[in-house]
């Protein structure tokens, strides 16, 4: 673990600037979800998702800590973590995938680019292949990405007891908002400081 991280950092520091310039990164991504069931509307948000996008290959990765989701009601948050997501056992949700139609996006030109992203979503220890619609926005060289999609609770083996079946929706709306920064920038900043 330690060695691999060191290696990664060394690679990033010593590989050509060209390669770095292709990667954009955020550690303050926003992911929210809402479940609208007949009896109850449940919403939660997480502002600490990390994500990386590789402009050359179109690969995208997202990771989020389940326990960092904040709910309006403490009890909901407790149930979410303990009963449904079992976040002690499965602390993260991860998506690894790629932009399906990369050629349609011109990263050097400002604008909104609707796109599809395909990949593997892992929640609650269960992985599923998904394909979602999203938008890549380019403005002054800054990249942001957003998407709204639905996830079926049953696909991820999240058990909802019959008693609360009217409180928790079968499909949950997920919305993702990422404002990326150039990966290189952070290094520059650090090397300046050192």
Do 31 and 174 meet the contact criterion of CB atoms below 8 Å apart?
A: yes
Token pair in block for residue 103: 């050629």
The runs of H, that is alpha helices, within 29-133 are 74-79
- Helices 2-14 and 183-193 cross at an angle (nearest 10°) of 90
Question: Of these, 19, 22, 32, 68, which contacts other proteins (CB under 8 A)?
Answer: 68
Q: Are 19 and 55 in contact (CB under 8 A)?
A: no
34 near other proteins, judged by CB under 8 A = no
In angstroms, how far apart are the furthest CA atoms of the chain?
58
| Closer by beta carbon to other proteins, 105 or else 183 | 183
For the chain, the straight-line distance linking the first and the last C-alpha, in angstroms and rounded, comes to 24
Contact set for other proteins, span 43-62 (CB under 8 A): 47-50
Q: What is the DSSP string of 53-116?
A: EETTT-EEEEEEEGGG-EESSHHHHHHIIIIIS-TTT--EEEEEEEETTGGG--TTS-EEEEEE
- The structure tokens 């990667």 sit at 23
If one asks whether residue 92 binds other proteins (CB under 8 A), the answer comes out as yes
Smallest distance, other proteins to C-beta of residue 146, A? 13
106 binds other proteins (CB under 8 A): no
Nearer to other proteins, 13 or 152 (CB): 13
- Interface with other proteins includes 3 (CB under 8 A)? no
**Which one among 14, 38, 39, 75 touches other proteins, defined by CB under 8 A?**
75
Q: Across the strands, what pairs with 52?
A: 25, 61
Residue (62 or 156) nearer to other proteins, CB: 62
The tokens for 99 are 């932009």
Residue 89 vs 109, nearer CB to other proteins: 89
Site map for other proteins, 4-33, x if CB under 8 A? -x---x--xx-------------xx-x---
Q: Is 74 near other proteins (CB under 8 A)?
A: yes
* Site residues (vs other proteins, CB under 8 A): 1-2, 5, 9, 12-13, 27-28, 30, 47-50, 63-68, 70, 73-75, 77, 81, 87-88, 91-92, 186-187, 190
């Amino acid at each position: 673990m330690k060695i691999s991280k060191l290696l990664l950092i060394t690679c990033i520091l010593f590989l050509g600037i060209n390669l770095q310039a292709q990667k954009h990164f955020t550690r303050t991504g926003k992911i929210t979800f809402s479940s609208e069931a007949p009896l109850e509307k449940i919403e939660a948000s997480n502002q600490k998702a990390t994500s990386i996008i590789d402009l050359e290959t179109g690969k995208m990765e997202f990771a989020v800590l389940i326990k960092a989701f904040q709910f309006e009601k403490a009890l909901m948050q407790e149930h979410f973590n303990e009963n449904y997501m079992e976040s002690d056992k499965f602390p993260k949700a991860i998506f690894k995938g790629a932009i399906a139609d990369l050629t349609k996006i011109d990263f050097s030109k400002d604008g909104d680019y609707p796109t599809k992203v395909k990949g593997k979503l892992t929640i609650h220890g269960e992985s599923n292949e998904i394909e979602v619609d999203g938008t890549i926005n380019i403005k002054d060289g800054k990249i942001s990405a957003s998407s709204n999609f639905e996830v079926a609770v049953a696909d991820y083996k999240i058990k909802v007891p019959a008693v609360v079946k009217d409180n928790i929706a079968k499909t949950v709306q997920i919305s993702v908002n990422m404002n990326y920064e150039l990966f290189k920038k952070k290094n520059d900043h650090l090397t300046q400081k050192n």
